[in-house]
Amino acid sequence: MDAIERGKRLEEILAEKGMSMGLAYGSDDSQQSGEIVDREIKLDKTKRAEYLMDLYYQAFSSASVEFPYWYNRKFAECDGDVLEVRRAKALACAYAHSTPSIYPKDLLPGGKTDYLRGGFPMPWLTNSFYLAKEDELKSAAASGTTAIDEIAALGTGGGNVTKNQGKVVSLAGKFGIRAEDVPVLTKLAREWAGKSVEDLGLAYEKMMSDYEDKANIMKSVLVFCDSGYTIPQGREVASYYFPLEYGIDGMIKFCEAKKLEVAGYADGDGILGMKRLYFYEAACIALGGIQQFWLNYVKELRTVAEIEPDEAQKAEYLALADQMEWIAHNPPRNFREALHLTYLIHITVLNEDAISGYSPGRLGQVLYPYFEKDIADGTITEEEVIELLEVHRFKFSTIELFASTGISGGISGNTFNNLSVGGLDKDGAPCGNRLEWLFLHAGMTNQSPQPTLSVLYDERLPKDFLIKCVECTKTGVGYPAWMNNRVAMDFMMNQYGAEGMTVSEARAVAIGGCLETAPGCFMPLHFNGKTHYIPAGASQTTSVGVHFVSNPKMINMVLFNGVDPRTGIQVLPPHNRELTTYEEFWDQYKKYYAKTLESTVKAGNIQHDIWRDRNMSIVNSLFKPDCLKNGHHIGHMGTRYNATYNIESCGTINMVNSLVALKKLVYEDRKYALDDFRDAIKDNFGFYTAMESKAFSLGEQIKKPDVAKYDEIHGDCLKAPKHGNDEDYVKEILKEYEDWFCDLCNTYDSLYAKPMYACQISVALHAAVGMATFATPDGRLCNTAFADGSMSAYPGTDRKGPYALLSSGCCWDQSKSQNSQINMKFHPNAVRGFDGSKKLLTMISAFMNKGGFHVQFNIVDSKMLKEAQIHPESNRDLLVRVSGFTQYWVETGKPVQDEVIARTEFEGGI
């Protein structure tokens, strides 16, 4: 037995001292043992969805080189052309040459690649990974054997290809690539050496006066990652309006006419006026490529139908071919066509760039006119709609994002296609229509990660609609997340009022990505003899800028005079202050934070400027109001709202708890000096690191034998007041931080010369960034995950029940930030029955009335998660809410799994 095996877990140590980790609240602990309690609400999916989801479960994430090959080829061929046009030609060529794959029973043919769960690298965006790994990848490809046994053994870990197997090479720990494609990938990447957005961005970043600071900030993971070349688009809401209203042919016709209208005229804009011609030309070219992309499927459907022996399937293929052919040119005539068209636009936009969090938004309201007509005409039944929506979930769940290892891990491989329900219409009336109800229902029957659902809560939404949302939550699938529509609208007006947003237009808000509040507008759709004002996303990405400042690490920066104790790097200039008062400590924290943002905001602006110049959005721009009207793409602020860049933080609650511990133990009780904390943190309070123990929640951490000198200080840190218990002492510190942080973010300008804003979500970064962070003064240990979200309690530290936790987060004005985030975990018995549903809704309403922005739930017996960790092979379809997204348990990393298990489980009735 080695030393780690002999060591005691923190949970055991505390239990011996009569202290509890408090991982359960509200029961006599009887539910911590005994039988696993299943989720209360379970509904069956249709046979078709069952078949398709079975396919999904058998599919591995697969990387293709086809799209980048055609992109590179055309881009090279068009050397010398105007850049917008050159990029459009390259994109159009790549779309038009994408190979279609047709799968049986699929009612929505079309995919990002010819693999079911396919993605592809974009070396024009980032290529360093492939170049750095070239030898390694080629060596792995060369050593490949036809290891059938290995392949047959696949089945755990979901669809991730985490290691090289046979003639498949693992890329970024997630995707598999065929060995024979590896030389192609590296050749494609070499063509972008020194020319990719990443390479060019870096070259110009280095011209910053404080570039070294920025480099050290990234090396030490004080900030998680750059955003300009990683996932530069997404976290925004799609607009499907133009193709629904005009069809693709109509859009081309419009752009052709605009070319004639603007050619040769600056029209008062001496800088960008002339560029409109190039944008309209690029738009026509891209739309042509998109049409061909879709028409490839038409041809393939007809080919496949010829050899299909099953008559019913043959007829279905032919009908789908006709449907796709129609919507490749024309506005849809019915619900089936409209749904299919919106899906095709969605995947087409996703292929333009590395995009995560491109969200369908309020799709149930967008498609309602078609649904209403078809139901009234008797051309579709609700059962058929549910089947279609289940297939829609299947197709969205197959969407993959190809990103670097760090990004994939940071976002848990999720693509965050958020579909919002509820909210208000243009005139302020509550939404919540029958089609939205069916979207919820399909989310209950076909439980799957995508699209994730969010309800824009307004107290006037129909009661039965809200109860349906609660019932969906109670399936345990983790959606819908609950967002406060009022707070979202207030944020809209704060942030976009200067760009002309009105209250009416603020009502078009929806969630893009995890829970990024994104602006929209209402567009007049003419259908069935009526004008319907449908919501549409009307901004560019709402979540790029500074990707995740580690708030707990900033505490350690202050403690260690600007040095990261993990790496030993002098990250920030030494402050050389004595820090004799709490006020001095807090002042230095703010100074270091501002210094960090100064460097990273500038670097981000340079990267994104290179992006908009070299890799500008053509396709996403086509669909977004008001790019077509203005003749400007997103990078030239063609969209209606452009003040969309943010500063993201993570670990807020560990930071707040750390400030509380220091204030109380050092500055008020004077029991310890800051040096005592420095020693304890450097020695991880006498514990092995989580990397050594391979467990990532606090209670599982293992104490080193014979190291007792930190026991008292660690015990005091853990006993210090903690967020989540509605205590004024903690709330005052949280409020002071939030008021300062949100105002600070507004003082930075994006490259569009618009004020940035705070974004407070954790995605899966609370685990990834936690792993790169030493112990912190709140008693959290080295490498362990931070508290998730931004207002969630650190696991086990909220001991006064759910209302106390929710109230704790409402001490500040949440409309000053793009979002806040609370995740809660309830035992199924705590909300059982209709009475339980009503109580859960009452609790949510109380939280929203108090000004909370967001809450979401895992309704699950923690024993089920522990069992799934031991037997992942029997839990392929188990879904959990991680942070702002739902993911398969088996596709999440162990640090996240440990953190979800450790979250406080509310077991008693509410």
- Residue number with CB closer to other proteins (176 or 513): 176
Beta carbon nearer to other proteins, 271 or 307: 307
Q: Does 168 help bind other proteins (rule: CB under 8 A)? A: yes
Q: In the complex with other proteins, which residue's Cβ is closer, 289 or 872? A: 289
Name the minimum Å distance from CB 402 to other proteins: 13
Q: Which of 167, 566, 694, 850 binds other proteins (CB under 8 A)?
A: 167
* C-alpha closest to that of 520 among 479, 547, 485: 485
For residue 308, give both structure tokens. Answer: 């299909």
What the block records as the tokens of 905 is: 């489980």
Q: Which stretch binds other proteins (CB under 8 A): 179-187, 548-556, 625-633, 646-654?
A: 179-187
Residue 77 binds to other proteins (criterion: CB under 8 A): yes
Residue type, 639: T
Q: Given 205, 372, 387, 516, which residue is catalytic?
A: 516
Q: CB of 610 within 8 A of CB of 620? A: no
Closest to other proteins by CB, 183 vs 715, is 183
Active site residue 516: yes
Q: Give the nearest distance from C-beta 79 to other proteins in angstroms.
A: 10
Q: How far is CA 678 from CA 132, 203, 443, 663, in A?
A: 37, 37, 49, 15
Site size toward other proteins, by CB under 8 A: 46
Structure tokens at 613: 């110049």
Our finding on whether 708 is near other proteins (CB under 8 A) is: no
Stretch that binds other proteins, among 159-167, 255-263, 616-624, 678-686 (CB under 8 A): 159-167
Respond yes or no on whether the N-terminal peptide bond of residue 480 is cis (omega within 30° of 0): yes
**What is the rounded CA–CA span in Å between residue 132 and residue 172?**
12
Whole-Å CA distances, 54 to 45, 57, 243, 735, 910: 12, 5, 32, 48, 37
Return the number of the residue (59 or 910) whose C-beta is nearest other proteins.
Answer: 59
Asked whether position 115 contacts other proteins by CB under 8 A, the answer is yes
The nearest distance, CB 909 to other proteins, in angstroms, is 46
Under rule CB under 8 A, residue 318 binds other proteins: no
**Among 164-172, 406-414, 591-599, 743-751, which window interacts with other proteins (CB under 8 A)?**
164-172
The amino acid present at 804, given as its one-letter code, is A
Of the pair 168, 656, the CB lying nearest other proteins is at 168
Contact between residue 767 and residue 899 where contact means Cβ atoms under 8 Å apart: yes
- For residue 116, state whether it binds other proteins (rule: CB under 8 A): yes
Q: Which stretch binds other proteins (CB under 8 A): 51-59, 610-618, 667-675, 825-833?
A: 51-59
Between CA 481 and CA 489, with CA 484 as vertex, the angle to 5 degrees is 130
* C-beta of residue 119 within 8 angstroms of C-beta of residue 402: yes
Q: Is 429 exposed, middle or buried (0-12, 13-18, 19+ CB in 10 A)?
A: exposed
Out of 225, 284, 514, 810, the active site residue is 514
The footprint of other proteins on residues 86-105 (CB under 8 A) is 96-99, 101-103
- Coil/strand/helix, residue 903: coil
Side-chain half-sphere CA neighbours of 820 within 13 A = 32
178 is a contact residue toward other proteins (CB under 8 A): yes
Q: Is 385 in the site for other proteins (CB under 8 A)?
A: no
Of 180 and 835, CB closest to other proteins: 180
Which one, 77 or 377, has the nearer CB to other proteins? 77
180 binds other proteins (CB under 8 A): yes
Is residue 154 at the binding interface for other proteins, with CB under 8 A as the rule? yes
| Site membership for other proteins, residue 63 (CB under 8 A) | yes
- The alpha carbon of 493 is separated from its chain's Cα centroid by a whole number of angstroms, namely 24
| Alpha carbon distance 698, 682 (integer Å) | 17
Least distance to other proteins from the beta carbon of 869, Å? 26
CA 125/CA 390 separation, integer angstroms: 34
Residue 157 or 430: the one with the smaller Cβ distance to other proteins is 157
Which residues touch 375 (CB under 8 Å, ≥6 apart)?
Answer: 381, 382
Question: Mask 10-49, x = binds other proteins (CB under 8 A)?
Answer: ----------------------------------------
Identify whether 255 is a catalytic site residue: no
Phi-psi region of 48 (alpha: psi -120 to 50; beta: other; left: phi over 0): alpha
Least distance from other proteins to the Cβ atom of residue 59, Å: 5
Nearer CB in complex with other proteins: 69/857: 69
- Exposure string over 656-665, b if 16+ CB within 10 A, otherwise e: bbbbbbbbbb
Q: Which of 29, 38, 54, 58 binds other proteins (CB under 8 A)?
A: 58
Least separation in angstroms between CB 683 and other proteins? 46
Residue 81 binding other proteins, by CB under 8 A: no
Q: CA–CA distance from 314 to each of 104, 214, 302, 698, 891 (Å)?
A: 10, 59, 9, 57, 35
Binding residue (CB under 8 A) for other proteins from 108, 177, 347, 386: 177
**Binders of other proteins among 288-317, rule CB under 8 A?**
296, 300, 304, 307
Q: What are phi and psi of 787, to 5 degrees?
A: -60, 140
62 sits near other proteins (criterion: CB under 8 A): yes
The one segment of 163-171, 540-548, 700-708, 801-809 that binds other proteins by CB under 8 A: 163-171
Judge if the upstream peptide bond of residue 626 is cis by omega within 30 degrees of 0: yes
Sign of CA dihedral 827, 832, 835, 837: positive
* Interface mask toward other proteins for 238-277; x: CB under 8 A: ----------------------------------------
CB neighbour class for 188 (10 Å; exposed up to 12, middle 13-18, buried from 19): buried
Task: Give dist(CA 395, CA 810) in Å, integer.
Answer: 38
From the CB of 73, what's the least distance to other proteins, in Å? 5
The two three-digit tokens of residue 41, written as one number: 């609400």
Burial class of residue 1 (count of CB atoms within 10 Å of its CB; 0-12, 13-18, 19+): exposed
Q: Does 189 bind other proteins (CB under 8 A)?
A: no
225 in helix, strand or coil? strand
Catalytic center residues? 514, 516
Residues that bind other proteins (CB under 8 A): 55, 58-63, 65-66, 69, 73, 76-77, 96-99, 101-103, 114-118, 146, 148, 151, 154, 161, 165-168, 176-178, 180-181, 183-184, 187, 296, 300, 304, 307
